[in-house]
Structure 1
């Protein structure tokens, strides 16, 4: 359930450029999307109960709504009173403040449970509780220790983890899953976490 925010863009763009992310994103964008099927394939079965809880973002395809985030991007999921998923996304900003937003995720694919619509009431154009799929879980660690998420167009991508860091073997699995899903690992930038990676770099260089 990707991080969104309704705050103004100006300060984010400044921070983004100060960190050198614009240059990095431009450099890796030439890698493009690998040859793939028309739609990303979801995992065969997502156990929503096991998927709930806290996830740390360890890498992502740069998005405008994440420009405010300097480190410790976290998603928290739990069931709401309707049986949908309550979403709470947060991160630490470049000036040390907290950026957070609340939303709702609803399952669109009852066969796999791995395709959802995520809406954020505070974001114009994304404020619908129900709608088309924009969140697809395409890979999962066998113990639900990590997940790979994208959207139908593959314009986004998020590497989520239960812990704040991966070992080298897990990173290898993640990069292989990104390639199998139809993206290049070079499109992803690492996300700094307290206790984990401290730099922002294309995932293909790690």
Structure 2
């Protein structure tokens, strides 16, 4: 191998390594991390959806979107989602959430498959608690692929500064909020 070929190979290798390092660095700066710990007993109860990214399974939801969480008989979390369509019809979906990182409890997988087949490890979505206040009044929940995102509150009309803080945090970790839907409450 002549010196010109060697130099080209070394230069090409350096470019590949640098590119690899840059893409890794950029990925790390926007990597989604769940909070370090969620007290499930404090998290249970009713949450009002304040904002979300568009989701096909919530297309019929127009207003008063809520999620009610309770422990079921097997220790998993029962998920009772409800909302009203534009014509006033109540829509409800019952599912189950499975903790993926006990005892931290901040990463869950949620399934809305029929109860008889929920044991199958398919059809489960990531539900990570990304930010939550100490009093469990406001939460940011999303997925590591940044496809799903919700701002949840214990009240239907939280302080706008708090909502903005949670949305700013979502932007800072790489969520695109250009298509954000702000939930109506009546």
Q: Identify whether the pair has TM-score above 0.5, normalized to the shorter chain.
A: yes
The alignment partner of 1:170 has SS state of: helix
Question: Matches of 2:82 and 2:27 in 1, distance apart?
Answer: 32
How many corresponding residue pairs?
Answer: 157
The answer to whether structure 1 residue 128 and structure 2 residue 118 are counterparts is yes
Q: Which runs of 5+ in 1 are unaligned?
A: 1-34, 195-206
The answer to whether structure 1 residue 57 and structure 2 residue 52 are counterparts is no
Tell me, yes or no, if the aligned pair for 1:108 and 1:133 is still in contact at 8 Å. Answer: no
- Offset from partner CA, 1:84-135 (integer Å, 9 cap, x none): 1011100011110100010100100114210001011249xxx634646611
Q: Which structure has the larger Rg over C-alpha atoms? A: 2
Are residues 170 and 129 of structure 1, via their aligned partners in 2, closer, same or farther at CA, if it must alter by over 3 Å?
farther
Shift of 1:40: 1.5
Tell me, yes or no, if the aligned pair for 2:151 and 2:163 is still in contact at 8 Å. Answer: no
**TM-score between both structures, scaled by the size of structure 1:** 0.70
1:151 aligned residue:
143
**TM-score between both structures, scaled by the size of structure 2:** 0.77
Are residues 130 and 166 of structure 1, via their aligned partners in 2, closer, same or farther at CA, if it must alter by over 3 Å?
farther
Question: Matches of 2:169 and 2:96 in 1, distance apart?
Answer: 26
2:130 aligned residue:
138
Tell me, yes or no, if the aligned pair for 2:33 and 2:144 is still in contact at 8 Å. Answer: no
Of stretches 91-100 and 180-189 in structure 1, the one that deviates more from structure 2 is 180-189
Question: Matches of 1:120 and 1:102 in 2, distance apart?
Answer: 6
Tell me, yes or no, if the aligned pair for 1:117 and 1:130 is still in contact at 8 Å. Answer: no
The answer to whether structure 1 residue 70 and structure 2 residue 62 are counterparts is yes
1:16 aligned residue:
none
4+ runs of 1 displaced by more than 4 Å?
A: none
Decide which structure has greater helix share: 2
RMSD: 2.0
The answer to whether structure 1 residue 171 and structure 2 residue 163 are counterparts is yes
